[in-house]
Amino acid sequence: MELQAGRFMGSVSSPVYYSKEHMMKSGIHVRSMSWLFAAGLAFGAAAAHAATGVTITQDQEAKVTVGMTAAEVEQNLGRPADIVKYRNAIGPTWIYEVDGATFGMTKFDVDFGSDGRVASAAEIVLGDN
């Protein structure tokens, strides 16, 4: 009997059986959803890391010299934590966070000229948080 293959719905006093063909099925599997969720977390973490930039060491600061292009700076140091354009500056300033600095929170600023090359680079000590 086809009703036996169905699913029980209703109360004990008045059972109602529905055949399998009338039951809703989800096309999404739990395993697929967990993989999508994990992939979303991984991409989200990568995006957050890219958005905030990377920290550099004081040894890496020495690699930046006047006249380098923005591509060369990014190749040596990675993405900056912030890029700003000061009102009277000729070009943008890339700001990096320095990891392991002796005097607390320290930033490393790379200033670019109108030609897109490094005009100056300096470490700025902000002190303890």
Alpha-helical segments (H) within 1-129: 30-52, 58-61, 70-77
Residues of each domain in the chain carrying CATH 3.30.1450.10: 53-127
Say what the pLDDT of residue 9 is: 56
Say what the pLDDT of residue 61 is: 92
Say what the pLDDT of residue 113 is: 96
CATH number for the segment(s) 53-127: 3.30.1450.10
Q: Indicate the pTM of the whole model.
A: 0.57
